[in-house]
Amino acid sequence: MRATTKEQGFYSQIFKLVLPIVIQNLLSAAVNSADVVMLNYVGQSAISAVSLASNYANVLFMVYYGLGTGATLLCAQYFGKGNMRAIQTVEGIALRFSVIISVVVAGIAFTMPQMMMRLFTDNAELIRIGASYLRVMGVTYLCWGITEIYLAVLRSLGRVTISMAMNMMAFALNVFFNACFIFGLFGFPKLGATGVAIATAMSRVIELIGCVIVSIMSKDIKLDLRYMFIRNKLLFSDFVKLSLPALGNDLSWGVAFSMYSVILGHLGSDAVAANSLVVVVRNIGTVLCFGVASAGGILLGNVMGEGNLEKAKEYASKLLKLTVVAGAVGGLVVLGITPFVLKFASLNETAMHYLKYMLLINTYYIMGAAVNTTLIAGVFRAGGDTKFGLVCDTIDMWCYAVPLGFIAAFVFKLPVLVVYFLLCTDEFVKWPWVLKRYKSGLWAKNITRDHLFEDEEKE
């Protein structure tokens, strides 16, 4: 019998969830970042090309995260309510969307990778390397869309250790196969950027197989594609109403954030190469912040599913304080890693100059991202308040940050580091509106329904 949230205190519950999620997020970021880090031994062009091509993976991750969020917030509340049949139905709905999107993007990657690269750069060498990388990555997209949804559902039920184990396995395999294809170990050919894509695809395929094995051993929630054909109008309506704004929010933010790479990509390969390593370090610095946000969303969802909205508000207050601490720790992590990155990075003098100051900018940028992520993607979404994030992030990114970046770079032709600094003000600009929404308490809602399957049972 599962323990209810009434039986344990906030901090004991949150830390049981946070640690596996932090490790999972760290490894998930590492699976994608390992490509860039290990390509440091191939050359600057390979790093730049793969960094640009990885923007598609970043956007796809936002799509899967948005769909997973819709599934998580519904499943977490129905788990608090004890309705496993509703959870299976929600999983099927989320899989339906993710599989279709994965097939479409993979098809484009297989057939038109050069066109995908031209959106980010007009450098012929980067297009050639990136296209070869993207063509193979199509396999990764197909597997990723399935595993991310299944692991999101497991996390919503508090089974975060399984997700951590799957990501740990994917990371270890990715690093191993990367080394094989970069250095020609164990008789493998040296394939550079293409080999790195093959390594990533192989690790994701094995991760999917691992999820299938976990599913077979599970007594209730399985990775069953037949769930996609379960029909329930009420749950589908709720999923669309809650998940699509979350998906739109993450997609809008992800595409806008990719525009930062477009801006930097047209400012020269030195800026692109420096930013590619900065992204790796920032991902490491933010894992604790995102872990707190994810764990908080799950815990608050369980509490609101039980109908205890006052306790949810109390927990949210504690979560916000914990987030500020996590943001400060994340900034210190970036600051601590910076000397090692500067020592081992194989970039030219200009790129190294950019790298140093971009990393310093990120030591405080993480705090802005931490607070916004916890409130928008954790607290608000736990109660089904997904539209606010969509409106807030869309206005912030598309009406402020992206236009500011383009104007600074191409109208006023400001130095690269000034442009980067201006781009990194986006998180702090939306703080007043996000904090005001949090204090209003409008996000605290029980979004579950009773008698979901009565009509079907009568038939």
* Number of Cβ atoms within 10 Å of the Cβ of 454: 9
pLDDT beyond 80 at 87: yes
The residue among 133, 119, 153 whose CA lies nearest residue 54 is: 133
What span, in angstroms and rounded, lies between the C-alpha atoms of 122 and 111?
19
Q: Which residue has the higher pLDDT, 163 or 400?
A: 400
Per-residue pLDDT of 363-399, as tens digits, reads 999 999 999 999 998 899 888 888 999 999 999 999 9
Three-state secondary structure along 97-125? HHHHHHHHHHHHHHHCHHHHHHCCCCCHH
pLDDT beyond 60 at 294: yes
What span, in angstroms and rounded, lies between the C-alpha atoms of 24 and 160?
8
**Which residue is associated with the tokens 């029909």?**
231
Q: What does the pLDDT read at residue 3? A: 42
Region 409-438: mean pLDDT is 93
Per-residue pLDDT of 431-453, as tens digits, reads 999 999 999 888 888 878 877 66
Helices (H), 218-348: 233-265, 269-305, 309-344
Residue 108 contacts by C-beta under 8 Å, 6 or more apart in sequence? 116
Q: What does the pLDDT read at residue 442? A: 87
What span, in angstroms and rounded, lies between the C-alpha atoms of 295 and 5?
13
Q: What does the pLDDT read at residue 33? A: 63
Q: Which residue has the higher pLDDT, 291 or 432?
A: 432
What share of the chain has pLDDT > 70, as a percent?
94
Burial state string for 82-110 with b = 16 or more CB within 10 A and e = fewer than 16: ebeebbbbbbbbbbbbbbebbeebbeebe
pLDDT beyond 80 at 66: no
Cβ–Cβ < 8 Å for 169, 207: yes
What's the one-letter identity of residue 170? Answer: A
Per-residue pLDDT of 8-51, as tens digits, reads 578 888 888 888 888 876 776 666 566 666 777 777 778 788 87
Per-residue pLDDT of 211-243, as tens digits, reads 999 888 887 778 878 888 888 888 888 888 888
Per-residue pLDDT of 245-256, as tens digits, reads 888 887 788 788
* Number of Cβ atoms within 10 Å of the Cβ of 423: 21
Residue 86 contacts by C-beta under 8 Å, 6 or more apart in sequence? 74, 75, 78, 232, 235, 448, 452
Region 307-321: mean pLDDT is 89
Q: What does the pLDDT read at residue 422? A: 95
Write down the mean pLDDT value for the chain: 85
pLDDT beyond 60 at 7: no
What span, in angstroms and rounded, lies between the C-alpha atoms of 169 and 245?
32
